[in-house]
Structure 1
Amino acid sequence: MITKPEQGEIVSRDILDLLPHRYPFLMVDRVLSFEPMKSVHAIKSVSINEPFFQGHFPSYPVMPGVLILEALAQTGGIMVIKSLPPADTVGKIFLFTGMEKVRFRRPVFPGDQLHLHVTYERHKMMMWKTNGKAMVDGKVVAEGILTASIVPRED
């Protein structure tokens, strides 16, 4: 039985319309809540089938920290894209431009579910700053300030 998403939820098939990322680089499975220009809460279910676990590390699989940050950046991208009028994003792409005050607190293992919390900090023109926090079982695994820009696509 297929169930309809709850109010404010965005499911994977709709995420594909918002982000240009595809397997194996799409790091957001579902958005649980979203408030325009305020916050977004998404999840990424981490599976042993993730291709990066083949080499990071075969005998002790740990999700690379940079991919946790990428998941936060993609979550922030969803918040910004959903907050803007569609005309402001047509023919454009959201690119990661920087990160500050990044801290990795705990490793992320296969079977974990990453809860990705991103809040809006500020923007100027098409440069955006967000605050991201990734959590597993209510504990912070990574956090930082992420910046990105909306730029024209060069197809």
Structure 2
Amino acid sequence: MMDIQQVMQYLPQRYPFLLVDRVTEIESGKRIVGYKNLTANEEFFLGHFPGKPIMPGVLMIEAMAQIAGVLGFYTHGKSPESGHLYVFAGADNIRFKRQVIPGDRLVLEAVPTGSRRHIYKFSCRALVDGELAASADLLIAEQKV
């Protein structure tokens, strides 16, 4: 399990773009589960949409990419502090199934499905109350900075 301080050791993103609050399960090279608690105070809810706040789909994809990045860093013993970044490189099979609104806990899951020359593929899901909100196959590329 990782609290927000530990998550921030693996992710370079910061407020308002840090979209992982906690990791609840992690198995090196196999699986990660974490979550983002969404409140009415999230900046993106101000404009998406006034009077009917909905989390933008692209931010759900970004949240899934961030949880996959934590697993990648953890698995390979790297971090932004060690001069490495994992950057979003692509997405396939994106599906949105449920709107995500203030008060929801977005549970994020990622499982590695392949790798090739510092590019890693993950099967990811985002759920609210056990119901699928979004899913995607994501590519994350490792970069040395």
Q: Which residue of 1 aligns with 2:62?
A: 70
TM-score, scaled to structure 1: 0.90
**Equivalent runs, 1:42-57 vs 2, <5 Å:** 42-57=34-49
**1:85 CA displacement:** 2.9
Q: Which residue of 2 aligns with 1:3?
A: none
Secondary structure at the counterpart of residue 61 of structure 2: helix
For the aligned residues, what is the CA RMSD? 1.2
**1:61 CA displacement:** 0.2
| Runs of 4 or more consecutive aligned structure 1 residues displaced over 4 Å after TM superposition | none
Q: How many Å separate the matches in 2 of 1:86 and 1:145?
A: 22
1:36 aligns with 2:31: no
Secondary structure at the counterpart of residue 115 of structure 1: strand
Q: Which residue of 2 aligns with 1:107?
A: 99
Q: What are structure 1's unaligned runs of at least 5 residues?
A: 1-8
Q: How many residues matched? A: 144
Percentage of matched positions with identical amino acids: 36
* Maintained 8 Å contact 2:120/2:139: yes
Q: How many Å separate the matches in 2 of 1:86 and 1:99?
A: 23
Q: How many Å separate the matches in 2 of 1:17 and 1:130?
A: 21
Partner AA of 1:137 in structure 2: D
Secondary structure at the counterpart of residue 103 of structure 2: coil
Q: What are structure 2's unaligned runs of at least 5 residues?
A: none
